Amino acid sequence: MAKQCHEIDYRILGDDMQAVVVTLDPAEQVIAEAGGMLYMEDGIDMQTSMSTDKDKGFFGNFFKAAGRMVMGESFFITTFSNSAGVRADVAFAAPYPGKIIPLHMDQLGQEMICQKDAFLCAAQGSQISIAFQKKIGAGLFGGEGFILQRIQGDGLAFVHAGGTVFEMVLQPGQTLRVDTGCLVAFQPSVNYDIQFVGGFKNALFGGEGLFFALLTGPGKVYLQTLPFARLADRIVAASRHMGGQRRGEGSVLGGLFMGDN
């Protein structure tokens, strides 16, 4: 069967603040979250719309766009096309420190379930939709895991995760308990549920939240070490601790003897 998605080439640049450079042959296209473009070379055209699916009609595209907003993405999606006669590049930047993960969808069963704001870009022909959790417990207590993204296609897709990324392959029946915010993506063959941390002191003072994401194999799982929500919480806490004032750096006494100039 012929591939439905365009076959694109890519390279990932950088370490902690990465970018993915997608090289398009003439007439090839890539879709991306609106606002994620870093640069594009001559010959690349961009078109912003509610959906890339022309067969859905206005209301179908409107509901798909509204679904992306629920997932934390933009209402609009942008298509980048190479209208030149030679190969040309378009690049997309990561929104915060972390890693860009290339997903070879044809090797992953043509479907992946991801955290709601993970999608960065994908080859034309890919479909992005909502993946609600079927289990009430996972929906009510899953935190970031309540509303997930479903990426479908047989080409390349790119998602972004915070910090360092772990790739794990769960065997049939193998279980893994994960902080709900650290789960980035998993194959639909992996069963996803929520488990109570257990223990009074663990729940109140463990610092890991009240629930774990319980994953049961088989299938591939991607984890991140620094969820954006955790990073944001640390920044807010540090800002409150400093009281919005400058502090001397490099010394615990700096704040006592250094005032604003």
Would you state the pLDDT for residue 212?
Answer: 83
Sequence-ordered alpha helix ranges (H) in 91-206? 136-141, 200-205
Query: Distance between alpha carbon 97 and the CA centroid of its chain, in Å?
Result: 12
Contact 62, 43 (CB under 8 A): no
Q: What is the pLDDT of residues 223-250, one digit of tens each?
A: 999 887 777 777 777 777 666 555 545 5
Contact 115, 50 (CB under 8 A): no
Contact 191, 185 (CB under 8 A): no
Would you state the pLDDT for residue 75?
Answer: 46
CB atoms within 10 A of CB 245: 8
Average pLDDT rounded to a whole number, residues 47-72: 52
Least confident of 4-18, 20-34, 42-56: 42-56
- Print burial letters for 51-73: b (CB count within 10 Å at least 16), e (below 16): bbeeeeeeeebeebbebbeebeb
Contact 74, 44 (CB under 8 A): no
**Considering the chain, what is the average pLDDT of its residues?**
79
State phi, psi for 57 to the nearest 5 degrees. 80, 175
| For residue 203, pLDDT beyond 70 | no
| For residue 256, pLDDT beyond 80 | no
Residue 120 structure tokens = 């960065």
Would you state the pLDDT for residue 54?
Answer: 54
- Residue from 140, 162, 125, 117 nearest 5 by CA: 125
Would you state the pLDDT for residue 219?
Answer: 97
Contact 142, 82 (CB under 8 A): no
Average pLDDT rounded to a whole number, residues 58-63: 43
Q: What is the pLDDT of residues 94-118, one digit of tens each?
A: 988 999 999 999 999 999 999 888 9
Q: What is the pLDDT of residues 115-139, one digit of tens each?
A: 888 999 999 999 988 876 655 454 4
| Length, in residues, of the chain | 261
pLDDT > 70 in the chain, percent: 70
Q: What is the C-alpha to C-alpha distance for residues 125 and 85, in angstroms, rounded to an integer? A: 21
Least confident of 108-112, 153-157, 169-173, 234-238: 234-238
Domains of the chain, with CATH numbers?
A: 9-241 (3.60.160.10)
| For residue 155, pLDDT beyond 90 | yes
Would you state the pLDDT for residue 87?
Answer: 96
Confidence of residue 252 (pLDDT cuts 50, 70, 90): very low
Q: What is the C-alpha to C-alpha distance for residues 163 and 96, in angstroms, rounded to an integer? A: 9
Q: What is the C-alpha to C-alpha distance for residues 96 and 16, in angstroms, rounded to an integer? A: 9
Would you state the pLDDT for residue 95?
Answer: 87
